[in-house]
Structure formats: C-alpha cells, structure tokens
Structure 1
Amino acid sequence: MMINSTHDAYFTLGAYVDTESFKSFFFLLIIFLYMLILCSNLLLIVVICVNRSLHEPMYMFLCSLFVNELYGSTGLFPLLLLQILSDIHTVSASACFLQIFCVYSYGSVEFTNLAVMSYDRYLAICYPLQYNTRMTSDKVIMLIAVIWFPPFVAVFVTTVLSASLQLCGSVINKVYCDNHSVIKLACYDTTVNNVYELVASSVTVCVPVSVILYSYIRILRVCFSGCKQTRQKAVSTCTPHLASLLNFSFGVFFEILQSRFDMSSVPDVLGIFLSLHFLTCQPLLSPVMYGLNMTKIRVTCKNIFRFFSASNTRTK
C-alpha cells in the first residue's frame, strides 16, 4: 500500500498487546505517573523561580532541565493515554510527526542540558575563585539558548525530511511514533534521511558526551589533588548529575538498540518498558535526585510545605 504523508494519512501503532482486561489499570497507572511527573517538575520550577537565592547558573540550568522533562512527558503521555483507551491504535500522520518532533527534540535537549550542567560544575569546582567572572548572566543566557535552539533546528529538519517521504506501509511497531520506524516504511531510497539522521544523532549525542567526559576528567583531577572539602563539594553537586546522566543514557541506549536491531526474542512487555524508559523514568527520577541532594532546593520545598500547612491550620 502506498500512502503519502498528508493530513488524511494514518499510522497504526502495532506494539500494543491485547490488554482489554487491564485497560483501566494501565490507564490509571499511566495517568498517575503523568500527574506525578507534572507535579514534581512544576514544584521544582516554582521553587527555583520564587526563591531569589536560587537564581544562580546551576539552578537556572536545572530549571531548564525540569522544563524539558515536562515537555518530553507531554509529547508522550496524552497520546499514550488515548491509545490505551482505543481499540484501533491509529494516529494521524500530522500527530505522529508532531510526536516524533517532541520526543526527538526532548532527547537532544536533555543531552545538551546535561552537558552544559557538567561544564558549569567544572567551572565551579576547578575555578571557584573565577567562577562568577567566567559564568556571567550573559553567558548563562547564551548557554540556555544553546541548550534549546540547535537541537530544535536539527530535529525540525529530521522531521521535515521524514514527512516528505512517500510511504509503502503504515504500521509502526512501537507504542509511540518513531522516526526510524517511519523511514523503514519508505517506498524509495532514503539515503538522505539516513545520512542526516546519523550525522544529527552523532552531533547531538557525541558533542554533549565529549563535553561531559572532558568536564568530569578535569573535576576528578581536582578531586584527587584537592583537599577533603573540595572532594565533598564535588561529590555532593555531581552525584545527582551523574545519576541522571547514567539513567538517561541507559534508556537511550536500549531505545537505539530496539530501533536498529531485531528484538523479536525480547518479550513484548519488556520491549515496551525499555522503549519508554528514557521518556518516563528520567522525568520521574530527576526531580527526586536533584530535590533530595540539593540542600537549597530541599530547604525551600520544606518551607513551602510548612507555609501551606500553617495556612490550612489558620483557616480551620
């Protein structure tokens, strides 16, 4: 069957298993996870915005990270909830390509954001006395623009190239729309798409990873040669960042593995979980990891809860 990537074309998401008897349970579970992600990330964004003592570069980059978690989750969960309730599991081409743009830009921004955060920690630990002169307000604004603008442009081009393809199929073997799966449905040569996707993926992953590796090599050198206080500062500020990086990299690795290789031997439920890992576990764990480890954030959250508790007590 030959179809064009027009607004009246539809894709079928073929990875949904028969869960009729558990439909309500899965729907409630997913909506609970989505609400948890929304509330936890929004809480920390508000905490950083309202507390002037948190208007520092590190917290600005954290705020950017939490905004991206909300963005990526919103690109996945609403359509996922609709598909769980649906018996057909079809999605329009326009909605599918919109989701591809959201999911891929979320992943690219996440890597870039983590790289900028590692660079910020490198300056704070390796050059503590010059940190304020090196990490100026203008530089923070420039780095936040770097976090968001290049990934969005790169993914926009990827999405446009895929949307212009003439397709000979409509079944995507995922629970959400995936660019590589769409390219495999193309009727004709997809060399341009494959080359661009390879180059764009390499740049958006390899460049941030290189920055992260360089930053942590320099941080480790300072830790080994510095005093106990320096080591403690490095551990307290870098632990949540490393945990976040490893968790996200793990999810992206398995998603790439699933997209590029035959995973038919993997049970369906496990395959679905692995494909959703970087889109669900990262937004869930990031607020917990940073909220519990960052003293200023933790104290501000406690003060906010105490304020509302006291207000409720006075109204009663």
Structure 2
Amino acid sequence: MDSELNITYITLGGHVEVDKYRYLYFLMMFTVYFLIICSNSTIVYLIWVHQNLHKPMYIFIAALLLNSLLISTAIYPKLLIDLSEKQLISYSACLFQCFLYYSLNGSEFLLLAAMSYDRYVSICKPLQYHTIMKKTTVRIFLGFAWFVPACQVALPVSLSANTKLCNFTLKAIFCNNSIYKLHCVSSRALTVYSGIFFFNVTLLPVLFIIFTYTKIFIVTYQSRREVRMKAAQTCLPHLLVLISFSFLFTYDVVIVKLELELPKTIHFIMTLQVILYHPLFNPIIYGLKMKEIYNHIRRLFCQRKLHQHINK
C-alpha cells in the first residue's frame, strides 16, 4: 500500500516464470491481440459497409464481435504492460477491470440469446419475421444486452471498493472474481448476489437458447432437406460459439467459487484459453461458416491482391 497517496496496489501473481519467458510472452500476447483486432474489426467493417448484411442476424454478429474486441481491450493492454514491468495494479483499477470483464461477458450470453431468438423467428415464424424483428426490436435487444449486465455487476464492484483487504496478491494474470478472495471477511450477501448474477446473465440465456434451438430442431426435422441445410448453415456457428464460450466462462467462475487448488501452470494455461481462444474463434467461425460474410471476405482479399498486382 502506498500510504502517501493512499493507493492500494495488488500484485498479479498468476504468471508462470515471467522473468524467464518475458519476451516470449510479450510477443505471443501482442500477436494474439493484433490478430483479435484485425479479424474482428474486418468482419464488423464488412457488415457495416455492405447493405445486404444489414439484417438482424448480421447486426447481432457484429455486436458479438465488437463485444469480443471490448473484452480483449479490457485485458490485453494491461497484460502487455505487466509483461514489460512489474505485475502491479491499483485496487480501484483492478475493480474496474473486473467490472468490464464480467459485464461484457454477461453481454456475450445475452447477445447469443438474442441471436438464437432471431434464428427461431426466422425459421419457425418466417411470415412474421419482418414484423417481429424490426430495427426497434434489434436496438432494444442490443441495449438490453449491454445495459443489464453492467448494472448487475456495478453493485458488487461498488460495494467492494471500500472493503478492507488482508491479502494483496491475486492468483491470476488479470482481475477476475478471485479479487473477492483478497477481502478480510467473506461476504455471504456478495456470494448470494454473485450467484443471482450468474443465474440471470448465464443460465437463463443458455436455457432460453436451448429452448429456441429445440423448437428449431423440431420444425426443421419435419421440413424439407433444403430447409434443414439452411438452418444448419446459420445455426451451427452460433452453437459452436455458445458451447466454447460457456465452457470457458464456467471454468473462470466455478474454479474460484469451488476454491480448487490447481497447479499454477495448469491454471495459467486455462486462463490464457479464456482470453485467447474465444476472441479468435468467433471471427473464424462466422467468417468461414456464414456464406454471405465469407463471400465478402473473399472479395475483399481478391481485390487487394488485384490492386497489388496492378501496382507492380
């Protein structure tokens, strides 16, 4: 603690042999962050500029990829600074990073739920699609997805701001829910509220997604082969993203709540998966599996190659 400035600093102790592999870690993290920015931004840009992609399904995909960019930006810049200097962060900055991380992760689940509802209406109620999925409806879903988790995470984070700390070393490489283990006294109310938050922005959206995809499966099973193929083409990427994200987020939350003492190296590797795998997985899945987006990506790179060839 810096008594002169009255600032409490937390040591991020989740790194493994950071002094030995500092430059390797930095190069790897910088490369991954660069790829995350480029891949996600490219698809968001394509959806933004092409009129035929101005549909609810693609708008939700753009929002999901933008959300991944925001999550990565909340983590990677500080992570890169930590790899070049000491692994320290002020307690207030740590709480803010924790707030961004969990509110945006909550938004991810709600955006996936909105996407599943869009697919449900499109496949199960095609004649009513344009009546239900209006621009106003899409805006409400997007606002709800970002506003509700932020409000729910703000309360426990603000309550933790003035909580007395008895431990100043966080067993993580960024500020996650293990920050509550630094408190001198464990708050039962905080634990209950965290469970309610997890239920509201994780379990409820997942249950809703399971319900909508069950309905979609029933309808497509009774339809023609062409309908089943089209449904699989649009729904499969969404399910793959949901499964991967649910697994990684559940690990991040449950591993702290159960207080499992995993070897530091395993915990470090799994934490890297949480922040590395998903932001890169999203653009690959949607870029390759969504035909309209893939066609625009192919045209974009073909135009660049043609332009380079003409310049030569």
Give the TM-score range, shorter chain.
Answer: over 0.9
| Aligned twin of 1:167 | 165
Letter of the 1:111 counterpart: F
In structure 2, the residue matched to 1:20 is 19
The aligned counterpart of 1:116 is 114
Q: Is 1:221 the counterpart of 2:218 in the alignment?
A: yes
Task: Give secondary structure in 2 for the equivalent of 1:8.
Answer: coil
Select between 195-204 and 266-275 the one with higher mean Cα deviation.
266-275
Identify unmatched segments of 5+ residues in structure 2.
none
Counterpart for residue 252 of structure 1: 249
The answer on 1:209 being equivalent to 2:206 is yes
Question: Displacement of 1:182 after TM fit?
Answer: 2.3
1:5-48 deviation per Cα after TM superposition (whole angstroms, max 9, x unaligned):
x9611011122222323211111011101000000000000000
Superposed displacement of residue 141, structure 1: 1.0
TM-fit CA distance, 1:257: 3.0
Distance 2:194 2:144 in 1: 20
Kindly, what percent of the aligned residue pairs are identical? 33
> In 2, are the aligned partners of 1:125 and 1:234 still within 8 Å (CA)?
yes
- 1:225-236 maps to which residues of 2 (within 5 A)? 225-236=222-233
Matched residue, 1:49: 48
Residue 73 of structure 1 corresponds to 72
Query: Is 2:47–2:58's contact at 8 Å kept on the other side of the alignment?
Result: yes
Question: Using a 3 Å threshold, how does the CA distance of structure 1 residues 205 and 197 change in structure 2: closer, same or farther?
Answer: same
Contact 1:14–1:172 (CA under 8 A) maintained in structure 2: yes
- TM-aligned CA distance change 1:134 to 1:64, over 3 Å: same
- Cα distance in 2 for residues equivalent to 1:21 and 1:194: 37
* Contact 2:167–2:182 (CA under 8 A) maintained in structure 1: yes
Aligned partners of 2:65 and 2:283 also within 8 Å: yes
Q: How does 1:55-66 map to 2 (within 5 A)?
A: 55-66=54-65
Give a deviation string over 1:122-142, Cα, whole Å, max 9, x none.
111111222111111111111
Give the C-alpha shift of residue 68 in structure 1: 0.3
Residue 105 in structure 1 maps to residue 103 in structure 2: yes
2:285 maps to what in 1?
Answer: 289
Instruction: Give, in whole Å, the separation in 1 of the partners of 2:20 and 2:272.
Output: 22
Contact 2:10 2:168 in 1 (8 A): yes
Instruction: Give the AA of the match of 2:214.
Output: I
- Cα–Cα, structure 1 residues 58 and 256, in superposed 2: closer, same or farther, change >3 Å? same
Asked if the contact 1:76–1:176 (Cα under 8 Å) also holds between the matched residues in 2, the reply is yes
Task: Give the CA deviation at 1:184.
Answer: 2.2
Aligned positions, number: 311
| Aligned CA-pair RMSD | 1.8
Which has the larger displacement, 27-36 or 93-102?
Answer: 93-102
On the 8 A contact 1:3/1:166 being kept in 2, the answer is: no
- Structure 1 segments (4+ residues) deviating >3 Å: none
What is the DSSP-based 3-state SS (H/G/I as helix, E as strand, rest coil) of the residue aligned with 1:15? coil
Q: What corresponds to 1:186 in structure 2?
A: 183
One-letter code aligned to 1:272: F
Q: Which amino acid aligns with 2:105?
A: G
Cα distance in 1, alignment partners of residues 6 and 223 from structure 2: 60
Residue 273 of structure 2 is aligned with which of 277, 280, 294?
277
Structure 1, unmatched stretches of 5+, are none
For structure 1, which segment, 181-190 or 10-19, has the greater mean C-alpha deviation from structure 2 after superposition?
181-190
Q: Distance in 1 between matches of 2:120 and 2:229?
A: 14
* Kept in 2: contact 1:7–1:93 (CA 8 A): no
Residue type of the alignment partner of 2:156: T
Contact 2:43 2:283 in 1 (8 A): yes
> Pick from 282, 297, 300: which aligns with 2:296?
300
Output the CA distance in 2 between the equivalents of 1:286 and 1:62: 9
TM-score by length of 2: 0.94
- Give, as a single letter, the amino acid of the residue that structure 1 aligns with 2:253: I
Between 1:12-21 and 1:278-287, the stretch displaced more is: 12-21
